[in-house]
Amino acid sequence: MLKEFYKPNSIAEAIGLKMRLGADTYYLAGGTELNSLDFKKPVKYLISIEKLGLNKINKTDEYLSIGAGLTIQELIDKPEIPKQLKTAASHIVNRNIRNIGTLVGNIGANKSCSNLIPILLALDAELTTATPTGEQKLRIEDFVKDKKDELIVSVNIKQKKILKSFAVKKYSRTANDISIITSAVVLEKVDNKVKDISIAVGGVDKCVIRLRELENKLKDKELRQKEEIEGIIKNMVNPIADIRGSAEFKKYMCAVLVVDCIFEAFKN
């Protein structure tokens, strides 16, 4: 049961509180995940991020830095946000959730079927996190894999990655349902060959994963046949069966979505 709710005015105060309050303490962004009936862990203390000013967007020649506290709808509405992130954000169920749920909450919730994490992984995004000794840069891939617990301040994407061609896809039972499989590809083509490729999928493991083995098989070569790539993917992923689909079905959908992403990104 919730005992206390805090609204710190600074990042230093927020991380100080988190350290002092200890276990069962959570940062609160939009609360769509923390307040949902699916959230089964005990919550004793909540630390709101509302007053921490985590909603700025900064551009340099090298990086686009997106304030982690932006809502998902703001990602769609703000002109500074690149198309690949807007597309992924538009895949999130409906405007009610998008108006309240945030970029940071999506990463913090770390759901296997997240709609935002695949494109962030494919773009090799880095997180700026706040620690008692100062700010730290962390690859988002490491954050989701290791289930880190630090306060995320911003999401940083290299400008040269943003310029590469991309595709983002999802499969859900209805338009207004959480996705079953999510997929994103970022690709560079030179002389009709795949020069560089990053492939991320959600819904087939405990968290969103990169398909590095497949990336290596495709790099520096002409694109293989669709059926051949689908076969490789099916041997590579091991989704679990649940109420939303059998393992075989998810494997099949994953292969189809990833191949569609690869071919779409290759064509662009």
Ligand X SMILES: Cc1cc2nc3c(=O)[nH]c(=O)nc-3n(C[C@H](O)[C@H](O)[C@H](O)COP(=O)(O)OP(=O)(O)OC[C@H]3O[C@@H](n4cnc5c(N)ncnc54)[C@H](O)[C@@H]3O)c2cc1C
Distance between terminal CA atoms of the chain?
Answer: 51
Binders of ligand X in range 51-70 (CB under 6 A): 68
Is residue 262 a contact residue for ligand X (CB under 6 A)? Answer: no
Collect all residues with Cβ–Cβ distance below 8 Å to 246 and sequence separation of at least 6. Answer: none
- CA 35 vs. chain centroid, Å, equals 20
- By beta-carbon proximity to ligand X, the closer residue of 26 and 266 is 26
Between 28 and 197, name the residue whose CB sits nearer to ligand X: 28
Alpha-carbon span 144 to 149, nearest angstrom? 10
- Cα 244 to Cα 118, 169, 187, 204, 223: the distances in Å are 20, 18, 30, 12, 32
Beta carbon of residue 95, minimum distance to ligand X (angstroms, whole number): 12
Specify which residues 187 forms β-bridges with: 165, 197
114 binds ligand X, rule: CB under 6 A: yes
Residues in the chain: 268
Please give the structure tokens belonging to residue 92.
Answer: 């999130």
Q: Which two tokens stand for residue 182?
A: 């999510």
Q: Among residues 81, 85, 89, 104, which is the contact residue for ligand X, using CB under 6 A?
A: 104
- Check binding of 106 to ligand X (CB under 6 A): yes
Site for ligand X in 182-241 (CB under 6 A): none
**Piece in contact with ligand X (CB under 6 A), picked from 1-9, 114-122, 231-239, 256-264:** 114-122
115 binds ligand X (CB under 6 A): yes
Nearer to ligand X, 144 or 194 (CB): 144
Say whether residue 73 binds ligand X (CB under 6 A).
no
Looking at the Cβ atoms of 65 and 115, the one nearer to ligand X is 115
Residues 197, 219: contact at Cβ < 8 Å?
Answer: yes
- Under the binding rule (CB under 6 A), the answer on residue 97 touching ligand X is yes
Measured between alpha carbons, how far is 206 from 241 in angstroms, rounded to an integer? 13
Give min distance, CB of 85 to ligand X, in A. Answer: 13
Identify which of residues 68 and 167 has a Cβ nearer to ligand X in the complex.
68
CB of 203 to ligand X, least distance (A): 10
Residue 68 or 211 with smaller CB distance to ligand X: 68
d(CA 166, CA 263): 10
13 burial type by CB count under 10 A (0-12 exposed, 13-18 middle, 19+ buried): middle
CA distance 208 to 172: 16
Among 15, 18, 28, 266, binds ligand X (CB under 6 A): 28
The contact set with ligand X (CB under 6 A) reads 26-34, 36, 49, 68, 72, 92-93, 97, 100-102, 104-106, 108-109, 111, 114-116, 151-152, 178-179
